[in-house]
A and B are shown apart, each in its own frame.
Chain A
Amino acid sequence: MEGKIIVVTSGKGGVGKTTATSCIGAALALEGNRVAIVDMDIGLRNLDVVMGLENRIVFNIVDVVQGRCKVEQAAIRDRRIENLFLIPASQSDNKDVLTTAGVERVAKQLRSQFDFIIMDSPAGIERGFENSVVSADDALVICTPDVSAVRDADRVIGLLYARSLTPKLIVNRIEPARVVRGEMLSHEDVLEVLSIDLVGLVPMDEKVLISSNTGTPLVLQKDSKAGTAFRQIARRLNGESDLPVEMPVYKTSMWHKISKTFGLKQ
Chain B
Amino acid sequence: MNFKKLPYSLLVKICSIVAFVCMFFPLVVVSNGGQVFTKYNGWNLISGIDFSASLDVLAETQQTATMDIMLLVVACMIISAVALSVKNKYGLRIGAIASGLGALATGLFIVEMNNGLAMRIAAIAADSQYSFTSWPEFSYTAVLFTMLGVLVLQFAITVLANIFSPINEVQTTLLQKRAITGYMFLMPFIVGFLLFFLTPAIKSLVFSFSLVDVHGTGGYTVNPAGWYESATGTIFVPANYYRALLVNVDYPTYLLTSIGNLCTTLPLVVIFSFFAAVLLNRAFKGRGFVRAVFFMPVILTSGVILAIETSDVLMSTMQASFQSQVSSSGSTGMQAFELQTMLTALNIPEKIVTAVMSVVNNLYAIISASGVQILVFLAALQSVPRSLYEASSIEGATGWEDFWKITLPMVSPYFVVNIVYTVVDCFTSAAKIGDQYSSYSSILDYIYDVSFVQMDYGLGSAMSWIYFLCIALIMAVVVAIVNRFVFYYDER
Co-assembled chains A and B: no
Which A residues lie at the B interface, using CB under 8 A? none
